[in-house]
Structure 1
Amino acid sequence: MSVNVVTHLNFRGDARAALTFYRSVFGGEVAVVTYNDAGNVQEPSEADQVMWGQVTAGNGFRVMAYDVPSHLPWDQGENAFFVSLRGRAAEEITAYWKGLSDGATIIQPLGPAQWAPLYGMLKDRFGVTWVVDVVGEYTAP
């Protein structure tokens, strides 16, 4: 038996744009169910917002997202979570980094670290903080 961990991102009206952006970076397919599709419209102006959505790519990338309805509390918060993106190939990780960097705030530039051949951190244009690295053997000091 195995378990998969999938990051679920919560937005207020930006879920579709975020999913589309992540698909442009990682490839794969976007699936979206709107509140209207599900027959769960509580606020007419939110009918076409995402009740459930995900990007699934053949390279193993998967993320879920939805738009928190206005009748529920929502605060994007500061550092409430990070999305960790790890891979074994520097070229692949560097390409993802370049894609995610579009409109992002770089917290730690992508470069060598003690624990990884490449490591970087950024906050993307949707406010999501990504920790990106190439898997390596940790060498304690």
Structure 2
Amino acid sequence: MFSSTPYIAFPGNARDVLEYYREVFGGTLDLMTYEGMPDMGFTPPPGAVAHAQLHGGLVTLAGGDDLGEDSRPLSGSAYSLLVMPGTVEEAKALIERLTTDGGTLGMPFEQAPWGDHYGQVTDRFGVLWQVNVSGA
């Protein structure tokens, strides 16, 4: 079976971000650090995440720490994650949680011209979430 999972290279805070997402979306977080791995040709900081995957909850995401010299905080609209809660109430609760925890509302959650309810929020880690409830 073919599947696709977003992978985000976080700027050194992958553990914090993915543990937070586990609290918000549920599921299981499988996390592997560089400790005990063979020599990678560079010295990662202690606790750096080589790979992690959040699965079995409301979202499936993968990621790790971006250890490159040009690593910078996440921002902008080059990518976003679209979530589609089952009800308007679930969507409002998610947006409330993300904004209460330090995120910013980018587009109010309301009925869109195409008939769905839609809004955008950037969480405290710089990840842009598009929230859409179909035909609500």
| TM-score normalised by L of structure 1 | 0.81
Alignment: residue pair count: 133
Are the counterparts in 1 of residues 25 and 57 from structure 2 also a CA contact under 8 Å? no
Q: Relative to 1, partners in 2 of residues 1:7 and 1:116: Cα closer, same or farther, differing over 3 Å?
A: farther
Corresponding residue for residue 84 of structure 1 = 82
- 2:64 match: secondary structure: strand
Q: Relative to 1, partners in 2 of residues 1:40 and 1:83: Cα closer, same or farther, differing over 3 Å?
A: farther
Corresponding residue for residue 118 of structure 1 = 117
Corresponding residue for residue 35 of structure 1 = 34
Kindly, what percent of the aligned residue pairs are identical?
31
Are the counterparts in 1 of residues 48 and 65 from structure 2 also a CA contact under 8 Å? yes
- 2:84 match: secondary structure: strand
Please give the residue correspondences for 1:122-137 in structure 2 after superposition, counting only pairs within 5 Å. 122-136=121-135
Question: How big is the shift at 1:94?
Answer: 2.3
Question: How big is the shift at 1:117?
Answer: 3.5
Question: How big is the shift at 1:48?
Answer: 1.1
Corresponding residue for residue 93 of structure 2 = 95
Question: How big is the shift at 1:112?
Answer: 1.5
CA RMSD of aligned residues (A): 2.1
Distance 1:40 1:32 in 2: 19
Please give the residue correspondences for 1:57-68 in structure 2 after superposition, counting only pairs within 5 Å. 57-59=56-58, 61-68=59-66
4+ residue runs over 4 A deviation:
none
